[in-house]
Amino acid sequence: MTSHSSNSSEGSRSDNSDLNAITRYIAEKFGLVDKEEREKPKILDDVSFDGLINHIKSKDVTKIITMAGAGISTSAGIPDFRSPGSGLYDNLQKYELPHPQAIFELDFFFDNPKPFFVLAKELYPGSFKPTPCHYFIRLLAEKGKLLRHYTQNIDTLERVAGIPDEKLVEAHGTFHTGHCVLCRKEYTQNWIKEKIFNDEIPICTACPGIVKPDIVFFGENLPDKFHHCIQKDFKQCDLLIILGSSLVVQPFASLVDRVPHTCPRLLINREKVGQTSGIMSMFGFGGGLEFDNPDNSRDIAWLGDCDEGCILLAEKLGFGEELKKLISEEHARIDHENLGGQENKKAKEPIDIKATEENLTEITDVKEEINEIEVTNVKKEININETTNVQKELTVIKTTNTKEKNIAEFTNTKGNKQDIVKGECSKRKSPKKPISPGVTVKHSQKQKELEKP
């Protein structure tokens, strides 16, 4: 959804016109408006999104500054701070804070750092993919059109997206590094992350101080790089693009007024923010964005989702397909690296000698236990085999003895039977009768006669 100054109601236009006329009269009366402000040049012939596109193409814009807030990371799954219901501040009640912003206040952190590190675990970089907004900014850098990217975000997604470090100003700090709050010893993101994900409060190895990621808490100074870059960047800017920021937190919000009066300013956000208001605007101070000012000739508000706005802007500038291809390829690469990272995590981590020795001792103990088990099993197997063989031998012996016994019994039985048979036969035979002498002589004579030739 787009929104331009032409979309304002006639009533609002009339009221703003009257108010602006009065404030301008007072400011000029007291000499509070400089000559350049009195003679505002006309920047855009057509104060609209398409009019801005034509300006970019015709003027060969090459010194673009982008300013980003939490709105460019919400589609990655990271909550912003102030959205009602879903914003981070609306969901901090579980930490029992005196007020939501206390979790980012130094006094509360020193008194009770645990809530911050519990929250840090939920939001820690490395679990999210950059959004189309991040890759749009990267393409601006690759095409030589980005002067600098200023971000309020601490999620490091700009780094993951590949935006060069020299083009990046992390105004509110980053999780990329951390320092001890006492001795200022520096620690890497991986070291801090390991402690946080083990539910530990990171403590300095050189002193008892807490190691805090280098994000800017309320009451802390912004990074030196921020102060150094704003002095030289904004006076050169030929297009300012504000993405997903509420423009509430200072001094970040005031950067919109550092660009020259001839520089167009584009807001891509869900609602209009950073507009001229309050007593300062009555006296010509602070400027702010002038979407609804009838004299506005440079400020454009595109209202809607930040990703959609950046994709549309890329299409209008002729590299929409390039942006979509880059998003697809980079997300695929991140998915592949995350899968490979899980497998190679141990190989990439530094070797802990003590832990390694303990592991070796454990492995040796396990091996000895396994050997003992194997020996015991072998012994059991031998005993079982020996027992089985003995049983077999006993069975054979028993069988042999049984057979021999049976044979002996059979033999004895047979002998007894023969004796019995003989006895019976003897009993059955008739007693021999005596042969008379006459019969015997007669038989002998007759036989002799027969034997004669």
Q: Catalytic residue positions?
A: 172
Please tell me whether 204 is known to bind a ligand: yes
DSSP 8-state assignment for residue 74: G
CA–CA gap between residue 158 and residue 146 (Å, rounded): 14
Tokens of 35: 């000559």
Q: Is 244 left (phi over 0), alpha (psi -120 to 50) or beta?
A: left
Instruction: Report how far residue 28's alpha carbon sits from residue 23's, in angstroms, rounded to the nearest whole number.
Output: 8
Query: Smallest Cα–Cα separation from 267: which of 238, 287, 241?
Result: 241
Residue 61's CB is within 10 A of a number of other CB atoms, namely: 17
Angstrom distances, CA of residue 217 to CA of 37, 106, 168, 221, 410: 36, 6, 20, 8, 112
Determine if residue 183 is labeled as part of a ligand binding site: yes
Alpha helices in 30-130 (DSSP H): 35-38, 49-59, 106-111, 114-123
In the numeric block, the tokens 């004796």 are attached to 419
CA contacts within 13 A on the Cβ side of 225: 14
> How many C-beta neighbours within 10 Å does residue 307 have?
23
Please choose, from the candidates 176, 259, 159, 265, the residue with its C-alpha nearest in 3D space to the C-alpha of residue 223.
Answer: 176
Distance (Å, whole) CA 289 – CA 296: 9
Return the bridge partners of 241, or none: 66, 266
Q: Is 310 annotated as a binding residue?
A: no
DSSP 43: -
Output the known binding site for Zn(2+): 180, 183, 204, 207
Output the known binding site: 180, 183, 204, 207
